[in-house]
Amino acid sequence: MSEFTLIAHRGFSSRAPENTIPAFELAVESGFPNFELDAQLSSDGAAVVIHDETLERTTGGSGLVATHTLAELQSLDAGARFTGERPKGQVRIPTLEDVLQRFHGRAHIHLELKSGEETLAHAVAELLLRHGWLGFATAEPFESPGITVTSFALEQLERSRELVPEIRHSWLISKIDPSVIDQARAARIQGLCPQAATADADSIGLARDVGFVVRGWGVRNESDLKNLFQTGAQGTTVDWPDRARAYLRSLP
């Protein structure tokens, strides 16, 4: 268990509204200093923390995130659709800047670039530079404080790496195979993140043997979690890190 890191997916999203300050605070307070978040841009160029391209699922608003100003986005309740015990008051969509300031020196943030916009990579890089996160770039893969930039778009990772080459970059993929490894090596990406359901020991072993950090995503249940743990992944994102920790500790 000590070599397998649980990353609170969108914060402690099973117990607080996802991608909000309360979810990130709860993760850190509960002993999970590694947490994941999603960044995209408002219509006026602010980097905001929200997963979906649209507002309906989490806020009860409507339309695209990218067509709303920061002020419009922050007038919405980011916990409107949360079915658990809500934090008191309105929960706002946070800016990435707010998160970077609040958790500086307190967390390892796994920061997913949700879109392929060049302006997003530039905005995120500028914020990381401005708020001193490059000082954590030499941290071990899951050491806290630390920073890892992720994306499903290899081109976006290459763009980000050109802007902040000191920082670890990891590619979110469905499955590791020799072609993926070759592409990632050519792009000088340091990490690979296979989907939990398709992870296997041979491909993870191949990736780790040539120096990649490997962590999973898409854990739906204990079976997915066990698969990643037993096939050699070094960690994974998960919505329920407390239950995941207890489950992994129960394994022989």
Q: Give the C-alpha separation, 146 to 141, whole Å.
A: 8
The 3 state secondary structure assigned to 199-225 is CCHHHHHHHHHCCCEECEECCCCHHHH
DSSP conformation class of 93: P
User: Is pTM beyond 0.85 here?
Assistant: yes
Residues serving a catalytic function are: 9, 51
Confidence band of 86 (pLDDT split at 50, 70, 90) = confident
Please report the pLDDT score of residue 2 as a whole number. 56
- Taken in order of first residue, the domains within the chain and their CATH numbers are 5-250 (3.20.20.190)
Percent of the chain residues past pLDDT 90, beyond the cut: 94
From CA 212, how far away is CA 191, in angstroms rounded? 5
The predicted-structure confidence for 152-205, as pLDDT tens digits, reads as follows 999 999 999 999 999 999 999 999 999 999 999 999 999 999 999 999 999 999
Question: Tell me: the pLDDT tens digits for 34-76?
Answer: 999 999 999 999 999 999 999 999 998 999 999 999 999 999 9
Is 1's pLDDT higher than 80?
no
Calculate the average pLDDT of the chain: 97
CB atoms within 10 A of CB 155: 12
